[in-house]
Amino acid sequence: MPIRLRSLPLAPLLTAIPAFVVLFGFGMVAPDVLTTGNLWNIATQTSYLAIFTLGQTIVLLTAGLDLSIGMAVSYTSVVAALALVNVAAPGLAILAYLAAGVGLGLVIGAVNGFFVAIVGINPFIVTLGTYNILFALSSTVTGGFPVSDFPPLTSQILVDASVLAIPIPIVISAIVMAVVGFLLRRTVFGRSLYLIGSNPSMATAAGIRVRLHTLGAYLLCSGLGTFGGLLLSARAGSGEPNIGGSLALQTVAAAVIGGARLRGGKGGVLSALLGAFFITVLSNGMNLARIDGYIQQLCIGAIIILALLAEQISQNAERSS
């Protein structure tokens, strides 16, 4: 019996091959791409995007979608920044910053999850509506201006610190991925998400509380997204009302490129990480090659279509074999 590449544990790593091809290709056009400093920059940027993509992937496992993740990041960035700069003690200010951001993110996830899982509205419609509400809120809370003057301790803890010479954002991202990986693969909740996405009728017959688990997926998505947004805001040194503007497209693209399915039931930590790495390499390379931002969006959109086309061809091949 022939061994299928799809069945091998290392098969998802093939997603990384095009990323390295793109990386070295841009390195030939713009030598700065392959410098040590830029490679560390790519790793750090990947760590942020991987957290966002992991949240999106969890929702995709249930055959859902969260278009509001970018605006949730923007809104919580501003609100959490206001909490940070209005607390006098730096240590307490950072705790208030994290608590306000993640807490508000969980509220947003609960709203999305309630209307998708409990009420039964299409996730595209729900999260598109949430996107527009959060866009208005993030633009009006501070009049569209960033909240700056972060205490230096914020950067020292969440940006400049390192563990064994590894930047703290990469360390935090690795911890988050390890915890979520355990949750998805080693707990009943995580394994249930895969069954809900691949066969919701079977999940119901197996006694899985589909609505409750789906609600939990949206909570995790927004919670992870806003936590990543707090790390990104700390790096920027301000709460930005537009910091998450393109994250919906980027996270869906990264998840799909990494191997997640929009139809649900497939994806995980490794797919989120590899997809985030590919998108980061592509964006970084195009920036250093001075390719227009609109062209970058065009490329990402085209890549999503090609990834979905490849998935459809693979599914058709499996059915016919």
| Confidence bin at 14 (pLDDT 50/70/90) | low
Summarize the confidence of residues 127-155 as an average pLDDT.
91
- Residue appearing with tokens 């139809």: 263
In whole angstroms, give the CA distance from residue 275 to residue 304. 11
3 state SS of 167: strand
Q: Give the per-residue pLDDT at 90.
A: 82
Summarize the confidence of residues 264-278 as an average pLDDT.
92
Identify whether 68 is part of a domain. Answer: yes
Q: Give the per-residue pLDDT at 4.
A: 46
Identify whether 5 is part of a domain. Answer: no
Identify whether 7 is part of a domain. Answer: no
| Confidence bin at 1 (pLDDT 50/70/90) | very low
Summarize the confidence of residues 177-205 as an average pLDDT.
94
Cβ contact 296:244 at 8 Å: no
Signed CA dihedral, 283, 252, 248, 218: sign only: negative
Token duo for residue 63: 């055959």
Identify whether 4 is part of a domain. Answer: no
* CA distances (Å), origin 131, targets 112, 137, 222, 290: 10, 10, 12, 30
DSSP strands (E only) in the chain: 162-163, 166-167
Q: Which letter does DSSP use for residue 160 in this model?
A: S
Identify which has the larger pLDDT, 208 or 300.
208
* CA distances (Å), origin 115, targets 110, 121, 219, 314: 9, 6, 12, 33
In whole angstroms, give the CA distance from residue 96 to residue 291. 39
Q: Give the per-residue pLDDT at 8.
A: 43
Q: Give the per-residue pLDDT at 261.
A: 87
pLDDT reading at 318 higher than 80 = no
pLDDT reading at 206 higher than 80 = yes
Token duo for residue 127: 């999260």
- Average pLDDT over the chain reads 89
The H or E element that residue 162 is part of is strand 162-163
pLDDT, tens digit, 9 for 90 and up, residues 43-81: 999 999 999 999 999 999 999 999 999 999 999 999 999
Residue 22 burial (10 A CB sphere; 0-12, 13-18, 19+):
middle
Cβ contact 309:297 at 8 Å: no
For Cα atoms 46, 165, 159, give the angle at the middle one, nearest 5 degrees: 55
pLDDT, tens digit, 9 for 90 and up, residues 90-100: 889 999 999 99
Identify whether 62 is part of a domain. Answer: yes
In whole angstroms, give the CA distance from residue 135 to residue 103. 18
Q: Give the per-residue pLDDT at 2.
A: 45
Cβ contact 228:73 at 8 Å: yes
- Residue appearing with tokens 């803890």: 157
**Percent of the chain with pLDDT strictly greater than 90:** 65
How many domains does the chain contain in total? 1
Summarize the confidence of residues 18-40 as an average pLDDT.
88
Task: Name the β-bridge partners of 239.
Answer: 147
In whole angstroms, give the CA distance from residue 160 to residue 151. 13
pLDDT reading at 42 higher than 70 = yes
Lowest pLDDT segment from 18-32, 130-144, 153-167: 18-32
- Domain containing 30 equals 12-309
Closest CA to 65 of 144, 134, 130, 162: 130
Lowest pLDDT segment from 6-10, 11-15, 70-74: 6-10
pLDDT reading at 210 higher than 60 = yes
**Percent of the chain with pLDDT strictly greater than 70:** 93
Token duo for residue 263: 């139809």
Closest CA to 147 of 235, 82, 231, 236: 82
Token duo for residue 120: 């039964």
Identify whether 315 is part of a domain. Answer: no
Identify whether 255 is part of a domain. Answer: yes
Identify whether 134 is part of a domain. Answer: yes
CATH of the domain at 166: 1.10.3470
Q: Which letter does DSSP use for residue 2 in this model?
A: P
